[in-house]
A and B are shown apart, each in its own frame.
Chain A
Amino acid sequence: AQKITQTQPGMFVQEKEAVTLDCTYDTSDPSYGLFWYKQPSSGEMIFLIYQGSYDQQNATEGRYSLNFQKARKSANLVISASQLGDSAMYFCAMREANAGNMLTFGGGTRLMVKP
């Protein structure tokens, strides 16, 4: 079974509007972290936001927030007030505390911001 699933291969959003990128995960480890990265066409993976499995509040970082629903095993990224520079691939990733030091990534969502 896929550990990280991103069901939206591509998304369009109008500039200045909000957009939600979906991520569901699968783990039996009680301690895990969920990460979102942005990958522009240049290729670099840019860290955006982190949510820990024991965190009581949803993470926020500037225009990025994470809608963490632990019982549903989802960690959706919300980008508010989209900008043209937000056009990129977005990857959800998980690190399980008891499964080594690797990040496991989803297949990504390509976000395109329309002017």
Chain B
Amino acid sequence: DTGVSQNPRHKITKRGQNVTFRCDPISEHNRLYWYRQTLGQGPEFLTYFQNEAQLEKSRLLSDRFSAERPKGSFSTLEIQRTEQGDSAMYLCASSIGGRDRARETQYFGPGTRLLVL
């Protein structure tokens, strides 16, 4: 399978615990994105990496959230001291960087569903 993969697919945790999600992009893609999707809504942008550099962060990415892409390949998203409001689907996407940014297609993984009790 050469698509975007995410692990775990589901995570249940108690409020206050830390959780970490992993995303493996399509191998030749140098751009990686994280989105959050709550029930009944469209995905909302969290952060963007080009290679290993984190170039954009949304206001949604509070200081309890941290994302890394240490070698420009896979990425991790960590949430510290989880809250019930963090319950959502966390989606990762990747793309090949090109000159025309508007034309770039982002390909999504299956997501990680987080439930905070």
Contacts and interface: CB of A to CB of B under 8 A. Distances in A.
B108 A33 contact: no
A53 B56 contact: no
Given A35-B105, A102-B45, A43 B100 contact: no
Interface of B: 31, 33, 35, 40-45, 48, 55-56, 58, 89, 91, 93, 100-111, 113
A97 interface: yes
A31 B99 CA distance: 12
Contact residue range for chain A?
A: 20 to 34
Contact of B108 (A37, A50, A104, A107): A37
B109 A53 contact: no
Nearest to B42: A105
Given A97-B100, A102-B56, A42 B107 contact: no
A107 B103 contact: no
Contact of B106 (A103, A107, A108): A103
A50 B103 contact: yes
Given A100-B48, A103-B45, 15 more contacts: A43-B111, A44-B108, A45-B93, A47-B107, A50-B103, A52-B102, A53-B102, A91-B43, A95-B101, A97-B101, A97-B102, A101-B56, A102-B45, A103-B33, A106-B42
Interface string A68-111: 00000000000000000000000101011100111111111000
A43 B31 CA distance: 21
Nearest to B45: A102
B42 A102 contact: no
Contacts of B103: 33, 50, 52
A64 interface: no
B102 A32 contact: yes
B102 A31 contact: yes
12 contacts: A33-B103, A43-B89, A44-B111, A47-B105, A47-B107, A95-B101, A95-B104, A97-B102, A102-B58, A103-B33, A108-B40, A108-B42
A105 B40 CA distance: 12
